[in-house]
C-alpha cells in the first residue's frame, strides 16, 4: 500500500435524536454479533469461554460504557443482514469500513485495530522484504482473502511473476508452507502473529502490506450508539488499555503506533504512513 491517509468521519454528537443508546442503557446489555468459528486470535472459544483480542476489547469496552456484553453467535457472512434486521446492536468481528451499498446502511466505529497483510516464510529461508522479492516463488494464500487480492493486483500490474496457490483452509496452507511445498504465504496480520507464536518453524518477513482498519459496525441511523462506542474506544486508546490488549496478543506494532496513538485518533483522519507493496 502506498503512503496515504485513512479518512475518518467522527460520529454525531451525543445529542443526536435517535434513541439507540437509550434503549441499550435501559436494557442493560449490548447485543453483539460475533462468530467464534473465525478462530484465534480474533474471537474464539477456549474451554467453554470466549477468548481473543476482539473479545477482550469488547469486555473492557462494555465495562467502560456500563453495560453487559451479550454475544449473539452469527456466522460471519450473515452478520450484516442480522444487524440490519435489528437482531443485534453491534458487529465487532474483523470487519473493515464498509463501502458501496453497505456504506449506505452501516456506520463504522473508530478503529480498534489496524490489520494488514504479512509475508510468512520458513525460518530457514531467505527473508523477502517486499512483494517484488516473491517473483518466481510459490506463494500460498487463503482463497478470497486480502492476500489473494494483493497478489492478483500485483501480477496484473507487474506481470504474472508470483506463482499463486489458493487454499480453502488455512490449516492446509500452513502444512504446505511448513513442509516446503510453498516458498512463502501471505495472510492477515493477526493470523501471522498467532502462527509465528505457535509454529516455531515460521517467521514473518518484510513490512505490513495493505493496511486496513478494523471497526465495529452499527446501523447508520444509530448515531447515538456509535457516538458512545467511539467515546469508549477513544478512552481505551488514551489510557493505554487498548495498547495493552493488543500487546498481549503480539499485535501492537509500528502500524498501530502510527494510526492508533492518541494524537492521530482525533481530528477526523489518521495517517497510515508508508507501507509500500512494491
Condensed to tens digits (0 to 9), the pLDDT of residues 190-224 reads 999 999 999 999 999 999 999 999 999 999 999 99
pLDDT tens-digit map of 131-185 = 999 999 999 999 999 999 999 999 999 877 999 999 999 999 999 999 999 999 9
**pLDDT value of position 26:** 97
User: pLDDT confidence of 259, banded at 50, 70, 90?
Assistant: confident
Rounded mean pLDDT, 256-264:
70
pLDDT of residue 11: 56
Same fold, 4-114+214-273 and 115-210: yes
| pLDDT for residue 138 | 96
pLDDT of residue 217: 98
| 117 strand-pairing partners | 188, 209
pLDDT band of residue 17 (cuts 50, 70, 90) is low
Domain ranges of the chain: 4-114+214-273, 115-210
Average of pLDDT values for 232-237?
96
C-beta of residue 91 within 8 angstroms of C-beta of residue 229: no
CA 172 vs CA 40, 177, 181: distances in Å = 16, 9, 11
pLDDT value of position 105 = 94
Q: What is the mean pLDDT of residues 237-246?
A: 96
Look at residue 269 and tell me whether its pLDDT is greater than 70: no
pLDDT the model gives residue 1: 31
Burial 149-183 (b: 16+ CB within 10 A, else e): ebbeebbeeeeeebbbbebeebeebbebbeeeebb
Give the CA angle between residues 138, 139, 140 to the nearest 5°: 125
Q: Which CATH architecture has domain 4-114+214-273?
A: 3-Layer(aba) Sandwich (3.40)
Listed in sequence order, the residues at least 6 apart from 70 whose beta carbon sits closer than 8 Å to its beta carbon are 29, 30, 31, 32
The pLDDT of residue 6 is 47
Span 233-253, average pLDDT: 96
Residue 271 has pLDDT above 80, yes or no: no
Q: What is the pTM of this model?
A: 0.87
In CATH, which superfamily holds the domain spanning 115-210?
A: Periplasmic binding protein-like II (3.40.190.10)
* Mean of all residue pLDDT scores within the chain: 88
**Residue in the structure block whose three cell numbers are 437482531:** 87
Residue 68: what pLDDT?
98
Range with the poorest average pLDDT among 9-13, 96-100, 214-218, 253-257 = 9-13
For 59-89, the pLDDT digits (tens) are 999 999 999 999 999 999 999 999 999 999 9
Give the per-residue pLDDT at 24. 98
Amino acid at each position: 500500500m502506498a503512503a496515504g491517509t485513512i479518512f475518518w468521519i467522527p460520529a454525531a454528537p451525543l445529542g443526536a435524536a435517535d434513541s439507540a443508546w437509550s434503549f441499550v442503557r435501559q436494557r442493560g446489555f449490548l447485543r453483539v454479533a460475533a462468530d467464534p468459528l473465525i478462530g484465534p486470535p480474533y474471537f474464539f472459544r477456549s474451554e467453554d469461554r470466549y477468548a481473543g483480542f476482539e473479545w477482550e476489547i469488547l469486555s473492557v469496552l462494555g465495562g467502560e460504557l456500563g453495560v453487559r456484553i451479550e454475544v449473539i453467535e452469527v456466522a460471519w457472512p450473515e452478520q450484516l443482514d442480522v444487524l440490519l434486521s435489528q437482531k443485534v446492536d453491534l458487529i465487532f468481528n474483523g470487519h473493515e469500513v464498509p463501502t458501496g451499498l453497505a456504506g449506505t446502511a452501516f456506520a463504522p466505529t473508530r478503529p480498534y485495530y489496524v490489520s494488514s497483510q504479512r509475508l510468512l516464510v520458513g525460518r530457514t529461508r531467505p527473508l523477502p522484504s517486499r512483494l517484488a522479492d516473491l517473483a518466481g516463488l510459490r506463494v500460498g494464500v487463503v482463497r478470497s482473502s486480502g492476500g489473494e487480492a494483493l497478489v492478483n493486483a500485483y501480477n496484473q500490474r507487474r506481470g504474472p511473476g508470483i506463482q499463486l496457490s489458493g487454499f480453502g483452509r488455512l490449516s492446509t496452507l500452513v502444512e504446505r508452507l511448513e513442509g516446503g511445498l510453498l516458498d512463502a504465504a501471505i495472510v492477515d496480520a493477526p493470523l501471522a502473529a498467532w502462527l509465528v507464536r505457535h509454529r516455531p518453524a515460521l517467521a514473518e518477513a518484510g513490512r505490513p502490506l495493505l493496511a486496513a482498519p478494523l471497526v465495529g459496525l452499527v446501523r447508520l441511523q444509530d448515531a447515538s450508539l456509535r457516538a458512545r462506542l467511539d467515546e469508549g474506544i477513544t478512552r481505551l486508546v488514551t489510557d493505554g488499555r487498548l495498547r495493552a490488549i493488543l500487546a498481549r496478543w503480539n499485535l501492537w506494532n509500528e502500524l498501530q503506533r502510527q494510526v492508533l496513538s492518541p494524537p492521530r485518533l482525533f481530528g477526523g483522519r489518521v495517517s497510515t504512513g508508508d507501507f509500500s507493496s512494491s
